Amino acid sequence: MIEVKNLTQIYKSGKGVFDLNFTIKEGEVFGYIGPNGAGKTTTIRNLLGFANPTKGSAVINGINCRKEAAKLQNTIGYLPGEITFFENMKGMEFLRFMCEMRHTKDLSRRDELIELFELDTKGKIKKMSKGMKQKLGIVTAFMHDPSIYILDEPTSGLDPLMQNLFMNLLDREKERGKTIMMSSHIFEEVQRVCDRAGIIKDGRIVAVEDVQSLNAMKQETFIIRVSNKNDVSKLMNNKLDVKKITDKKVKITVNNNYKEFFKILSDCSVIGLEAEQQSLENVFMKYYGKDGVTHE
């Protein structure tokens, strides 16, 4: 169980996190989303006891994350956002080092994970690709079977196949009752595995919501290609949010108004339709505005 109480950490630059308050229940999967530089990693640093909060505290299972950090570490599986290992070590050497440091006796899980992610443990870490390093980080975070996972942008650097594998792993861990906190700036990721999500912007939590209600906030944007110019003007002329891109291409944002959307499309000769990847930034702009004003 993770409790963040009035957590404030201000850097010299004036940036930081301010008065964060949230709780993650046991067995819950909590998404921590926000744009780059919003304070996600700063929060996580406090949960692991690396940083000294200016004010407030982070507590896991009743233990203060900063003051008694060492006591907590074997219950936490941590995947850093920017991973740096002991570069001169080989993959397996590093995993062995971590197991020894943690006194992990059962190595079967380590070997299962290596196989699952097709991790090449023979090479020097220095020579590994970003994706391979990320996989090594994932194995390191999961191999001692902790009860809490703290994952900082876990899928970055992974190819879609590996992302999928990783998401399935998270699903299984969730079923096993593990508590998971993952930060992300990718909406789909959070949407897929998380129960609840906290949204952080400029160092402040602007909302903690069920993922279902976040889904409702999500804008679906489609790029439509039509065969003639008249259709474009036809498309422009309705209640939906339509932007013209070229003579025969428009961008339509559907705010859950799919009925209207399909009705209009059926009148035009559509030759192409693709869903645009939703950037979280857009969701923020739309629903929280620049100053982080909450909706409703």
Partner 1 sequence: MNKTLFKATFKANWGIGLFFTLFILMYVTISIVMFDPDSAETIESMLALMPEGMLKAFGFDNLGTDLTGYLAHYLYGFIFLVFPMIYTIIIGNKLIAKHVDNGSMAYILTTPNTRIRIAVTQAVYLVSSIATIFIINVGIGIAISESMFGGHLDIGKFIALNLVTYLSTMVVSGIVFLFSCLFNESRNALAFGGGIAALFLIFRMLMGISEDISWLKYFTIYSFVDIEEILSSSSYATMASLILLGISSIIYFAAIIIFDRRSLSI
User: Under the rule (CB under 8 A), what is the footprint of partner 1?
Assistant: 9, 45, 48-52, 69-71, 73-74, 76, 78, 80, 82-89, 97-98, 100-103, 140
Ranges of beta strands (E only) in the chain are: 2-10, 16-24, 29-33, 55-60, 63-64, 76-79, 148-152, 179-184, 196-201, 204-210, 220-226, 241-246, 249-254, 270-275
Bridge partner list, 31: 182, 197
- Under a CB-based contact definition with an 8 Å cutoff, are residues 3 and 58 in contact? yes
| DSSP 8-state symbol, 85 | -
Q: Are 148 and 75 in contact (CB under 8 A)?
A: yes
* Alpha carbon distance 47, 64 (integer Å): 9
Q: How far is the CB of 132 from partner 1 (least distance, A)?
A: 16
Nearer residue to partner 1 within complex by CB, 68 or 210: 68
CA distance 55 to 63: 17
Residue (82 or 175) nearer to partner 1, CB: 82
Q: Which is nearer to partner 1, 90 or 218 (CB)?
A: 90
Q: Is 150 exposed, middle or buried (0-12, 13-18, 19+ CB in 10 A)?
A: buried
**Least distance from partner 1 to the Cβ atom of residue 50, Å:** 5
Nearer to partner 1, 150 or 186 (CB): 150
CA nearest 199: which of 69, 277, 286? 286
The nearest distance, CB 89 to partner 1, in angstroms, is 8
Residue nearer to partner 1 on the CB measure, 67 or 263: 67
**Closest approach of partner 1 to the CB of residue 111, in Å:** 20
If the CB atoms of residues 88 and 164 are measured against partner 1, the closer one turns out to be: 88
Residue 7 Cβ vs partner 1, minimum distance, rounded to whole Å: 13
Min. distance of Cβ 193 from partner 1 in angstroms?
22
